[in-house]
Structure 1
Amino acid sequence: MADKAQFWNKIAPKYARDPIKDMESYEITLNKTRGYLRADHAVLEIGAGTGSTALLLAGECAHITATDLSEKMLEVGRERAWNDGVGNISFEVRSAEDMPEGPFDVVLAHNILHLVEDLPSVLARAHAVLKPGGVLVSKTFVKPMSGLHLEYRVMKLALPIMQFFGKAPFVAFHTRAAFEAAFADAGFEIVESGHFPVGQERLYTVARKT
């Protein structure tokens, strides 16, 4: 865990400066996620990073607990929340597996589940901290249907070298079918799942605790 935290702490300043690469997809994700939030909801976000998503969704719910492995990432989030006058977000240093007890109405897991090494354990923990009928909202990189997808082929070739030199984190290459099956195994019912917009390599999935 310490090595993982060190990696994300090291890149935190650059991560905070860099603009969002695909703003269209990000806006779609935010708008779709807003549809699952209510003013009285307690929300947990795992892998919250610098708090960008939490800050944009804070006005849609009662409180967000934003967690991340990186203290440096969360420092940026706390500063942004202070500067923006947002008072209903708490920031906690936690791994994705180490979720607070809750209970929560919604768990957000945007761009994090492909970075965890034990997906079943993370999904089981999310199920445990959700209220009955609560939802897990994720956006996750999944293996493209076609092995000829250029970005995927480049990443598969380059990733082991970058990881060897400490320049990239662990990345899981789940197929969509295997990823969705993991939700069912953890006791979730998938409410919606798809690529928005079409062609986007990250899968937006909403699953309800049954």
Structure 2
Amino acid sequence: MNSTKFWDKAAAKYAKSPISDMSGYLETLERIRTVLKPHHRVLEIGCGTGSTALELAEGVDQYTATDVSSKMIAIAKSKQSADTPKNLRFETQEAGKLANGSHDVVLALNLLHLLPNLEDVLTQIHDELPVGGLFISKTTLLTDGACYLRPMISVMRLFGKAPYVRMLGNAELKDMLKSTGFDVKETLSQSGIAPRLFIVCQKT
């Protein structure tokens, strides 16, 4: 099952699932808010059902939130109301095919470990951003997590219960970003069975 079909099938259940680490999520939101500025034009890739976009869009000039799953985007659009910031739009789009337009900031939250073409996507993000542009990510580090995660995910994938997942570690991800041409400005580690790493990078 490819990624699009998997996430289309999972969309309804995903939308109903509570955030597993609410304190970590809120901490991440606060860190992002301190980085984003009112003039920023933001692109979020892998936005899921749009919860983070709805939280952050009000603080920036433009916010485009994309996901490979049209079912996820449909749910995101259904959350919009008269109070939703007018600068926010949701679009179905692959992570490696960035939305048209100029962006000062690209967000990829809980996404990079799900990309089989990660190196290509990072290169495209780097090329799309202007000098001084920011790339903000939060990534699950399965290499640094519990030893049973790798075999468990392999079995789940056999039965169509898990998408493609890349085993990434802290040092590997930072080195990958640096080799792409990003300067790592800020990091935040969140512990757990599968640790997560929040990174703010800048194109120099």
How far did 1:5 drift? 0.9
| Structure 2 counterparts to residues 163-182 of structure 1, below 5 A | 163-182=157-176
Letter in 1 for 2:166: A
Task: Specify the alignment match of 1:133 in structure 2.
Answer: 132
d(CA) in 2 for partners of 1:85, 1:92: 16
Greater mean deviation of Cα atoms: 135-144 or 55-64: 135-144
Q: Assess if the C-alpha contact under 8 Å between 2:143 and 2:168 holds in 1.
A: no
The two structures have a TM-score, normalised by structure 2, of 0.93
d(CA) in 1 for partners of 2:161, 2:153: 9
d(CA) in 2 for partners of 1:85, 1:91: 12
Q: Assess if the C-alpha contact under 8 Å between 2:188 and 2:199 holds in 1.
A: yes
Letter in 1 for 2:121: V
1:70-108 alpha-carbon deviations (Å, 9 max, x no partner): 000011111112364332211111111111243211100
Task: Specify the alignment match of 1:205 in structure 2.
Answer: 199
Task: Specify the alignment match of 1:122 in structure 2.
Answer: 121
| Structure 2 counterparts to residues 73-88 of structure 1, below 5 A | 73-82=72-81, 84-88=83-87
Task: Specify the alignment match of 2:179 in structure 1.
Answer: 185
How far did 1:33 drift? 0.4
d(CA) in 2 for partners of 1:44, 1:165: 33
How far did 1:204 drift? 0.5
d(CA) in 2 for partners of 1:80, 1:177: 37
Task: Specify the alignment match of 1:29 in structure 2.
Answer: 28
d(CA) in 1 for partners of 2:86, 2:156: 38
How far did 1:21 drift? 0.8
Q: Assess if the C-alpha contact under 8 Å between 1:102 and 1:129 holds in 2.
A: no
| Structure 2 counterparts to residues 87-126 of structure 1, below 5 A | 87-126=86-125
How far did 1:135 drift? 0.6
Name stretches of at least 5 consecutive residues in structure 2 with no aligned partner.
none
d(CA) in 1 for partners of 2:173, 2:185: 14
1:36-66 alpha-carbon deviations (Å, 9 max, x no partner): 1111110000000000000000111011111
d(CA) in 1 for partners of 2:125, 2:185: 16
d(CA) in 2 for partners of 1:115, 1:22: 19
d(CA) in 1 for partners of 2:20, 2:82: 24
| Structure 2 counterparts to residues 139-178 of structure 1, below 5 A | 139-143=138-142, 145=144, 149=145, 152-178=146-172
What is the percentage of aligned positions where both structures have the same residue? 39
The two structures have a TM-score, normalised by structure 1, of 0.91
Name stretches of at least 5 consecutive residues in structure 1 with no aligned partner.
none
d(CA) in 2 for partners of 1:92, 1:201: 29
Q: Assess if the C-alpha contact under 8 Å between 2:122 and 2:177 holds in 1.
A: yes
Letter in 1 for 2:126: H
Greater mean deviation of Cα atoms: 65-74 or 82-91: 82-91
Q: Assess if the C-alpha contact under 8 Å between 1:50 and 1:74 holds in 2.
A: yes
Distance change (3 Å), C-alpha of 1:74 and 1:83 = farther
Q: Matched residue of 1:133: which SS?
A: coil
Letter in 1 for 2:114: L
